Amino acid sequence: MTTNHQIRLASRPQGLPTPANWMATTEPVQQPAAGGVLVKVLSLSLDPAMRGWMNEGKSYIPPVGIGEVMRAGGVGVVVVSNNPLFAVGDHVSGSLGVQEYTLIPQEQLRRNGLFKIDLALGSLTQWLNVLGMPGMTGYFGLLDIGQPQPGETVVVSGAAGAVGQTVGQLAKIKGCRVVGIAGGPAKCAWVVETLGFDACIDYKAGPDAVREGLKAHCIGGVDVYFDNVGGDILDQVLAQLARAARIVICGAISQYNTTTPVQGPKNYLSLLVNRARMQGMVVFDYADRYPVAVAELAGYLKDGRMVSKEDVVVGLDTFPETLLKLFAGENFGKLVLQVAQE
């Protein structure tokens, strides 16, 4: 516990991040002052949103500064505490950064969102998936913005990913017909056979696969679309909307690494024709309600109505190449970087 290895942002990427955008550093592990805690990082959540955090410019959260430790949510264990709210040995989650140890002064505890996690409700990796930020995103995006009703058809892109798997399973629990969009026959089979979706469209099956799949599986149109990818797939779904449809804009992973200006949807007038609504969502807006979602989702995990699949890669030093798995669609489930074991 003397040296902290870290990954810092060296420069802002143009397109996909490259090794030149990162620098590996070490520094002595510092002890916390009064009110602070020192956390040993066990696992980190790798999310598409991280690509946006690398860009300069106005967004819902300040960009990571050049030379700063790369921002990442994670789970860990308290190894030193000078704060009565946290004891040595407590498992915690929060913004820990891509590093081995995170020193959090008292005044930054709230900003880092540090909170204790209960491993009786789920495993460490599940606290980065269904019980973590992806699960909270899926829960509030679907229920608060999508407002699905029993019998409606819900379509979710990135269906085999972290957010998508929660959205689809939750929609089924709420009595909806659920159609996923994912890449490759293996992912589509898992989405249907394990997650219980009614159908899954393989967008890699050909240029017309999504359009034809939506026509085949959404006979009455799409009532709720949970969008994680943007681009052409969003346009294809817009063309198949039902009256009064709701579209949840969660992410646009197909657009994050483009070096040309991002183009908006071509079929947006479908919103007018179908009296539909499109709304963006940022999960941090619901932070005060996370315990409600965790309690409900943990119940579904316990009784078997939901599963939580994680794709775990080991080693802090693998971070630059592991992150790229997200943008190539290579991860199968929630992408997690294991930094250390207890």
Q: What percent of the chain has pLDDT over 90?
A: 87
Which among 42, 7, 39 has a CA at the least distance from the CA of 26? 7
Any idea which residue has 């300069």 for tokens? 56
Average pLDDT, the chain: 94
The span from the CA of 133 to the CA of 113, in Å, is 11
Determine phi and psi for 222, rounding to 5 degrees. Answer: -100, 120
Of 260 and 152, the structure prediction assigns the larger pLDDT to 152
- Name the token pair of 298: 């943990």
Residue 58: the pLDDT is 78
Runs of H (alpha helix) within 32-128: 49-53, 109-112
Q: What percent of the chain has pLDDT over 70?
A: 99
Runs of H (alpha helix) within 99-208: 109-112, 133-140, 162-173, 185-193
pLDDT tens for residues 303-318?
999 999 999 999 999 9
Residue 1: the pLDDT is 64
pTM equals 0.91
Of 217 and 57, the structure prediction assigns the larger pLDDT to 217
Residue 261: the pLDDT is 66
Does residue 63 contact residue 53 with C-beta atoms inside 8 Å? yes
- Name the token pair of 38: 């020192």
